[in-house]
Amino acid sequence: MSSAKVNWDHCLKHAAVTDIGMRRANNQDSHAVVIADSVESWGERGHLLMVADGMGAHAAGELASKLAVDGVPFLYHKYRDQSPPEALQRAIIETNAEVNRRGKANSDFHNMGTTCTTLVMLPQGAIVGHIGDSRVYRLRGTMIEQLTFDHSMVWEMRAAGQMPEDGELARAIPKNVITRSLGPHANVQVDIEGPFPIEVGDTFLLCSDGLSGQVEDDEIGAILSVLPPKEAAQVLVDLANLRGGPDNSTVLIAKVTGAELTTSASRAEPLTIGADKTAPALHPAMWIAVGVCFLAALVFWMVISTPIVGLIAVVIGVVLLGAALLMQFSGGRSGVALVGGKRLGKGPYVHVPCEPGDALIGKLSDTIGKLRESAVERQLGIDLLKVNEICTKAEEGRRSGRLADSVRDYCRAISQMMQELRSHNKRKASDSSVL
């Protein structure tokens, strides 16, 4: 298979945006995007996207998430003798050990940790390696699915049947209390999910809880459905910030736009887990017996002149040699192939309809309206002309029933407004520095 460099832009659109938020002093999120550099690499390891949301005082959270996004992709690509699901699991476990070691080595980093959510897009489908409450979503048509299980107190209690969906206890427990993370403990349990089939139009989103805590699933899905990845990622982060931005937000989006990346177009062998291709070690006596047989054949044939006995010795030697080679090259377990819909994990865990509708348009309209009012009241001196033009277009779409167009335009109005506000803040900071 060719190992020439490949440009995937014709069949994969991806984008990443990370933001400090409105209330944090530093950004403890980290992310990685590793796109296969050849067809051969795509077939063996696929495309990898990863989000890590760090936790810990001082710079501990930043360090933990950085170690995660450096360690997991490197180790995943290192263990090419293992299947992708097994290599991903091993990479996360070994990265956990390194983060744990670094945490114990320095008191400033004691008990540091991070979420670890990794998506690998392969010819056989998408697999996920997951710890914590960062999330992976898949949008298909007008349905958004959460492929990961939140390792949070709320989700764990709900799964155990200890808490009703809308009970008072559910509202009382903070959603960000997580039960599992990478780093604080020497041993960690990793969720491996998939493979999930990939179709043209499928859009995958990875995010930290800075986004999912502020923007609802149906809103995420609707925005993904009407905007290209780069715009969608920025709009989602802007919305999280406009709704308070209490945490860092990181969004990674990958949209499949060509048949080359679909599962149906793949002729790759199915993913197999539990296989052991290590050949059993043969006892030296086996090889000695083979050698003795052939030596005896030579002696009986050439020296003693009894070719019948020599022929028998040759036959025995050939049989022993064949048995030795068979044991050497076909030993080990064959493993379990993930075929016929068989997959790891129990995902998807959430299914939410997300067709663009009037309710979302109303929310977006209210948001941009409040932004414009605030800008005028505070006399920020920003140019609202373009924002107003986009909002007028959005309202026209709403009145004519083109709801997807209306959502798209309101999203673009919000991004334009946020861009104007960021430019204003930069000018203000620059003027202050001069004074």
**Residue 370 burial by Cβ neighbours in a 10 Å radius (0-12, 13-18, 19+):** exposed
Helix axes 229-242, 217-226, angle to 10 degrees: 150
184: preceding bond cis by omega (within 30 degrees):
no
The residue type found at 140 is R
Cα separation, 276 vs 328, in Å, equals 13
CA distances from 415 to 80, 238, 423 (A): 42, 7, 12
CB-CB contact of 276 with 330 (8 Å): no
pLDDT in tens, 209-223: 999 999 999 999 999
Place of tokens 């990685």: 32
Place of tokens 């990181």: 250
pLDDT in tens, 287-345: 676 666 666 666 666 666 667 766 676 677 677 667 766 666 555 556 899 998 899 99
The predicted pLDDT at position 4 comes to 72
Assign 390 a pLDDT band (cuts: 50, 70, 90): very high
Place of tokens 């992708």: 84
pLDDT in tens, 34-80: 999 999 999 999 999 999 999 998 789 999 999 999 999 999 999 99
Instruction: Kindly provide the b/e burial profile for residues 17-55, where b requires at least 16 CB atoms within 10 angstroms of the residue's own CB.
Output: bbbbbeebeebbbbbbbbbbeebebbbbbbbbbbbbbbb
Place of tokens 């014709």: 10
pLDDT at 86 over 50: yes
Which residues 6+ apart lie within 8 Å of 47 measured at CB?
A: 8, 12, 34, 35, 36, 120, 121, 254
The predicted pLDDT at position 330 comes to 56
195: preceding bond cis by omega (within 30 degrees):
yes
Cα separation, 153 vs 181, in Å, equals 12
pLDDT in tens, 135-187: 999 999 999 999 999 999 999 988 988 877 666 666 667 777 899 999 999 99
Place of tokens 């293992």: 82
Within 79-135, residue ranges assigned H as helices are 84-105
Place of tokens 């298979």: 1
Write down the domain spans for the chain: 12-273+342-353, 284-331, 358-434
Cα separation, 155 vs 160, in Å, equals 9
Q: What is the DSSP string of 214-277?
A: TS-HHHHHHHHHHS-HHHHHHHHHHHHHHTT--S-EEEEEEEE-SGGGSSTT--PPPPEES---
Which of residues 376 and 241 earns the better pLDDT score? 241
Record the pTM. 0.86
Look up residue 29 and give its two tokens.
């999120």
pLDDT at 2 over 60: no
CB-CB contact of 200 with 243 (8 Å): no
Cα separation, 186 vs 95, in Å, equals 10
Q: Of all residues in the chain, what percent carry a pLDDT higher than 90?
A: 70
Interval 262-279 mean pLDDT: 83
The predicted pLDDT at position 433 comes to 41
R_g (Cα) of the chain, nearest Å? 29
- The domain covering 12-273+342-353 belongs, at the CATH homologous superfamily level, to PPM-type phosphatase domain (3.60.40.10)
- Please, what is the Cα angle at 50 between 49 and 51, to 5 degrees? 140
Chain-centre distance of CA 65, in angstroms?
Answer: 14
CB-CB contact of 103 with 110 (8 Å): yes
CA distances from 43 to 49, 271, 340, 374 (A): 16, 11, 20, 52
Look up residue 27 and give its two tokens.
């950004």
- The whole-chain average pLDDT of the chain stands at 89
pLDDT at 434 over 50: no
